[in-house]
Amino acid sequence: MSGDKTKVVLLACGSFNPITNMHLRMFELARDHLEETGQYRVVKGIISPVCDGYKKKGLIEACHRLEMAKLAVEDSGWITVDSWEGMQPEWLETAKVVRHHYEELLAMENNDDVDTVKYAKKRRIQDCFESSSNHKGSDGLQLMLLCGADVLESFGIPNLWKPEDIVEIVGSHGMVCITRSGSDPHKFIHESDVLWKYRKNIHIVREWVSNDISATHVRRALRRSRSIRYLLPDSVVCYIGEHRLYSAESEKKNNDVILAPLQRYTTASTS
Ligand SMILES: Nc1ncnc2c1ncn2[C@@H]1O[C@H](COP(=O)(O)OP(=O)(O)OP(=O)(O)O)[C@@H](O)[C@H]1O
Ligand SMILES: NC(=O)c1ccc[n+]([C@@H]2O[C@H](COP(=O)(O)O)[C@@H](O)[C@H]2O)c1
Ligand SMILES: [Zn+2]
Q: Give yes or no for residue 165 CB within 6 A of ligand 2.
A: yes
Q: Give yes or no for residue 155 CB within 6 A of ligand 2.
A: no
| CB-based contact 176:33 (threshold 8 Å) | yes
Q: How far is the CA of 180 from the centre of ligand 2 (A)?
A: 16
Contacts 24+ apart (CB under 8 A), 238-243: 239/64, 239/67, 239/68, 239/71, 240/18, 240/68, 243/64
pLDDT (0 to 100) of residue 115: 38
pLDDT (0 to 100) of residue 132: 41
Cα-only R_g, the chain? 19
Q: How far is the CA of 208 from the centre of ligand 2 (A)?
A: 25
Q: DSSP state, 89?
A: S
Q: Indicate yes or no: pTM above 0.90.
A: yes
Sign of CA dihedral 123, 125, 128, 130: negative
pLDDT (0 to 100) of residue 127: 42
**Which of the listed residues 15, 26, 47, 50 should we mutate to test ligand 2's pocket, taking the one with most ligand atoms within 8 A of CB?**
50
Q: Which ligand is nearest to the CA of 18?
A: 1
Q: Which ligand is nearest to the CA of 23?
A: 1
Q: What is the CATH number of domain 2-270?
A: 3.40.50.620
CA distance 141 to 143: 7
Q: How far is the CA of 50 from the centre of ligand 1 (A)?
A: 13
Q: Identify the H or E element spanning 67.
A: helix 62-72
Q: Identify the H or E element spanning 269.
A: helix 260-270
pLDDT (0 to 100) of residue 2: 57
Q: Give yes or no for residue 261 CB within 6 A of ligand 2.
A: yes
Sign of CA dihedral 158, 49, 108, 74: negative
Q: Give yes or no for residue 137 CB within 6 A of ligand 2.
A: no
pLDDT (0 to 100) of residue 235: 98
Q: Give yes or no for residue 160 CB within 6 A of ligand 2.
A: yes
Q: pLDDT tens for the chain, 271 residues: list them.
A: 457 899 999 999 999 999 999 999 999 999 999 999 999 999 999 999 999 999 999 999 999 999 999 999 999 999 999 999 999 999 999 999 999 999 999 988 777 543 333 444 444 444 444 434 567 655 679 999 999 999 999 999 999 999 999 999 999 999 999 998 888 999 999 999 999 999 999 999 998 887 889 999 999 999 999 999 999 999 999 999 999 999 999 999 999 999 999 999 986 655 5
Q: Give yes or no for residue 161 CB within 6 A of ligand 2.
A: yes
- The answer to whether ipTM exceeds 0.85 is yes
